[in-house]
Amino acid sequence: MKITRVQIENYRNLRSVDAQLDNLVALVGENNSGKSNFLRAIALPFASDDNNFGKNLSWFDINNEAKAEYYAFIDARKADILDGSIDAETLCQHVPVITVVVDIQGSAADGYDLKNLLVNENNSPVARLRYRWLVGDAPKLLNLTKDLLADGTDVCEIEMSLLPMNLYKHTIDVPDTIGGSRIPYETLSRFRHISLPAERDNFAASADRLGSRALVGLFQSGIDANGQKSIEQGYGDLLSTIRKAAKLDAVINWQEYSNVPNAGDFFKKISILPNMPQMSSILGSIRLGYSNESLAFQGLGHRNLILMAVMLNAYLNEDRDLSLRVVSVEEPEAHLCVNNVLLMASLLKVFGGKNTHTQILYSTHDAELVNKVGLDRVIVLHGGTASSLKQELTADELDYLTNNPNTDIFKLLFSRRLILVEGITEELLIKAYLQAHTALNDVKVLSFHKGYRNIIKIWKKVNTGSHNRLGIVRDYDNQPKAKADHDALADEQICVRTTAGYTLEEDIVKTGTNHALLVGKYGSIYGWEKMSDEDLQEDWRNNRKADVMLKICQDLIAGELAGFRMPQHIQDVLDFLLKPVDSGSSAESGIS
């Protein structure tokens, strides 16, 4: 059983999200893109083991745009609100509501578990849970709003007071009819969410604590009535051993051991009572190690790996009282070395292949954890929107990305300023050129052999509407049609440039005074002294391609090639990428 679709509205930076999920989900995106918020939001419709994120939210959890719209409405209709021409119902339509809706699918036999969650969606039954954080009493909010605004106070001064959280309440229901149906507790408690948050770092970190609440919870759920009984009896045995060894009775009930004759008349016998600690405290104080060496001596990465493997294995085991268990993990790759990242990826992969009643969602910044589980299981978060690659891309496009196994999906899709080049020489040159300039930049250069057109389409799907920019540097290769096809894909976020000559070398030599500069600097080394620009570029291209470029790059960085000019097509791309965001197309700034 799994969540197949999630819709989130107005939760933190997630203004409006509608994404399809598989039983294993990798969330990718830049920092602040909303990955953690996505994981938190998806927990809201479910019963939860940990109280870290309660079902009651705060003013800060409501999306800022949604709030701004509401305040703008109030501001614009202030007079109407005060004179009563806006009723509670109208006001209520504008009040921000946080909504998280999950659709759940299972096997035919799972139908029993889902039967009370069914909704008619285009004449098909769909099992659906809905969490809402909404105003329960609209007339009360209207009256409050009137009171607050009556003295002419500015809306922007009292924003928090205008949306008081004590008028909000949370509901979890099935949106099957107008108003929805409440879900009986016994049904809801079968749908659980568990999070393995960043507290993993504490696991086995010190010698005296286990340091993982999730693991303690797991131990605890494994204790049955007989286990409980034997622990309690064992504790009683321990206490009587302590009692004897520490001579507790003789100390406490001294009157019975003392030679003061009538002490017993004044001091009655005191009982030594068992005071068994809470089970979580007992279980939390166990210590793990190899032989006698505590696990605390192991590195953070190793401990993280062990904990993750233990938890994943436990979640693979079926819990027959549960219908669905949603597990979210933030950055399972945390602190792992390259080899262990691969191991983690295959753990997740094994997990994803098993069809259990558990679904796992994780956020990651590691390409291995994306590539190995499959790009069709990736949700891309970007500036508060989420899209699954499976939904956004065609099967061919997905195959194309999958078939480039070394693609770093993160750099490809999320770099703020990205230049794609055809080969290593362009990559070297541009990197060196950027390094030679002291101005800050975040330009990423990736070489990519072929298929620019597919890449551009994919990039557009992920990046359209953002401030990210993509530059493409290509060789002409005497193919005018290919050039025209690529040029057609350019837009305000994408700049495509092709060499004027056959390849890069020809353009370098023919740009500005580069020919003279190269002859002067390298003529004696390569025998270029008497060569025309045409001969020089041909010799360079055919006989010493990488060699010369390396030399040029080194000298550029060392500042020994003053007056060297980038070929026009590369310069165009650089100008395009480095132009400040809001300055419009007329700006001339950038590195030159």
Partner 1 sequence: MRIEVAGAGSGKTSRMAMRVLSVDAPDRRIVYCVAFTNAAADNIRDRLIRQNGTIPDNIKISTIHSFLYSELVRPYYHLLYGSKYKKISTISLPSTPSYRRARLSELESMQLLHQVAIPERAKWVVYGRAQDNARTKAMRAEVVAMFAGYCHKILVDEAQDIDKDIRDVLLALDHAGLDIELCGDPKQDVRGYGCFRDLVDTYLNNVSYSCECHRSPQLHLQVSNRLACEKEKQVADETNSIGSIDILFEADEDVNGLIASGEFGLAYISRKNDRFNTHENIDGDADFNSLQHELNVAIKEKHGGAMTELEVNRLAYYIAGQMIASARDDRTIRLAISKGINDGCYDYDAKRYARMAEALTVNDCTENNAIAVKSIEAIKGLEHEKCLFILTTDLAPYLLGDKTDDNKTKHILYVALTRSLDNLTVLVTKEVEARYTRQQIRDVFGAEAS
User: Site for partner 1 (CB under 8 A): how many residues?
Assistant: 18
Is residue 108 close enough to count as binding partner 1 by CB under 8 A? yes
Given CA atoms 348, 350, 352, 355 in this order, what sign does their dihedral have?
A: negative
Distance CA 431, CA 509 (A): 19
* Cβ closest to partner 1, residue 188 vs residue 556: 188
The least CB distance from residue 572 to partner 1, in Å, is 58
- Distance separating alpha carbons of residues 533 and 508, to the nearest angstrom: 10
Amino acid at 168: Y
Region binding partner 1 by CB under 8 A among candidate stretches 112-120, 422-430, 481-489, 512-520: 112-120
Q: Considering beta carbons, is residue 110 or 539 the nearer one to partner 1?
A: 110
State the first-to-last Cα distance of the chain, in angstroms, to the nearest integer.
57
Q: What is the residue whose two structure tokens read 């166990």?
A: 286
Task: List the one residue out of 468, 470, 457, 553 whose CA is nearest residue 504.
Answer: 553
Does 118 bind partner 1 (CB under 8 A)? Our answer is: yes
**Least separation in angstroms between CB 188 and partner 1:** 15
Q: What is the distance between the alpha carbons of residues 591 and 437, in angstroms, rounded to a whole number?
A: 8
Nearest CB to partner 1, comparing residues 115 and 269: 115
* 229 counts as binding partner 1 under rule CB under 8 A: no
Buried b (16+ CB within 10 A) or exposed e, 79-107: eebeeeebeeeebbeebbebbbbbbbebe
Cβ burial, residue 77 (10 Å; 0-12/13-18/19+): middle
- Helices and strands (DSSP H and E) totals, the chain: 28, 20
In the list 52, 56, 120, 532, the residue contacting partner 1 (rule: CB under 8 A) is 120
Task: Select the span of 108-116, 253-261, 399-407, 440-448 touching partner 1 (CB under 8 A).
Answer: 108-116
**Residue 340 burial class via C-beta count within 10 angstroms: exposed 0-12, middle 13-18, buried 19 and up:** middle
Q: How many CB atoms lie within 10 A of CB 192?
A: 20
Closer CB to partner 1, residue 114 or residue 518?
Answer: 114
Can you tell me which of 52, 87, 115, 535 binds partner 1, judged by CB under 8 A?
Answer: 115
166 binds partner 1 (CB under 8 A): no
Query: Least distance in Å: CB of 227 to partner 1?
Result: 19
Nearer to partner 1 (CB atom), residue 101 or residue 127: 127
Among 52, 56, 111, 260, binds partner 1 (CB under 8 A): 111
Candidates 61-69, 115-123, 291-299, 504-512; binding stretch for partner 1 (CB under 8 A) = 115-123
Q: Kindly state the smallest distance separating residue 108's Cβ from partner 1, in Å.
A: 3
Region 296-325 residues binding partner 1, contact defined as CB under 8 A: 320
450 binding partner 1? (CB under 8 A) = no
Q: x/- string (CB under 8 A) for partner 1, residues 173-192?
A: ---xx---x-----------
Q: Which of 60, 112, 257, 297 binds partner 1 (CB under 8 A)?
A: 112
| Binding test (CB under 8 A) with partner 1, winner from 109, 225, 439, 440 | 109
**Residues 6 or more apart from 5 whose CB is under 8 A from it?**
18, 19, 20, 21, 102, 103
At its nearest, how many Å lie between partner 1 and the CB of residue 317? 15
Closest distance of CB 319 from partner 1, Å:
12
Which residues are paired to 270 by β-bridges?
none
DSSP three-state, residue 240: helix
The distance of closest approach from Cβ of residue 109 to partner 1 in the complex, given in angstroms and rounded to an integer, is 5
Nearer to partner 1, 110 or 408 (CB): 110
Q: Is 4 in the site for partner 1 (CB under 8 A)?
A: no
With H, G, I as helix, E, B as strand and everything else as coil, classify residue 557: helix
Determine which residue in the list 110, 319, 376, 538 makes contact with partner 1, applying CB under 8 A. Answer: 110
Nearer Cβ to partner 1 (118/134) = 118
What phi, psi does 213 have (nearest 5°)?
-65, -35
* Strand positions, DSSP E, 179-296: 181-182, 191-196, 289-290, 293-294
Residues 485-504 that bind partner 1 (CB under 8 A): none
Task: Output the six-digit token pair for 282.
Answer: 């007992």
Please say which residue, 176 or 199, places its beta carbon nearer to partner 1.
176
Nearer to partner 1, 108 or 562 (CB): 108
Helix, strand, coil distribution of the chain in percent, nearest 5: 45, 20, 35
84 binds partner 1 (CB under 8 A): no
- Pick the closer one to partner 1 by CB: 107 or 524: 107
What is the Rg, in whole angstroms, of the alpha carbon atoms belonging to the chain?
Answer: 33
CB of 118 to partner 1, least distance (A): 6
Could you say whether residue 156 binds partner 1 (CB under 8 A)? no
Given the complex with partner 1, which of 118 and 310 has the nearer CB atom? 118
Question: Which distant-in-sequence residues (6+ apart) come within 8 Å of 365 by Cβ?
Answer: 28, 331, 333, 410
Q: How far apart are CA 196 and CA 306, in angstroms?
A: 13
- Least gap, CB of 5 to partner 1 (angstroms): 18
Considering only 55, 90, 125, 457, the residue that binds partner 1 (CB under 8 A) is 125
Q: Tell me which residue has tokens 């002067």.
A: 520
> Quick check: 13 and 386 in contact, CB under 8 A?
no
Tell me if 403 contacts partner 1 by CB under 8 A.
no
d(CA 107, CA 322): 15
Give the residue, chosen from 52, 56, 107, 524, that forms a contact with partner 1 under the rule CB under 8 A: 107
Nearer to partner 1, 178 or 395 (CB): 178
Q: Treating both helix axes as pointing N-terminal to C-terminal, what angle do 514-526 and 545-558 enclose, rounded to 10 degrees?
A: 120
CB atoms within 10 A of CB 211: 21
Integer Cα distance of 351 and 433 in angstroms: 46
Applying CB under 8 A, the residues found at the interface with partner 1 are 107-112, 115-116, 118-120, 123-125, 176-177, 181, 320
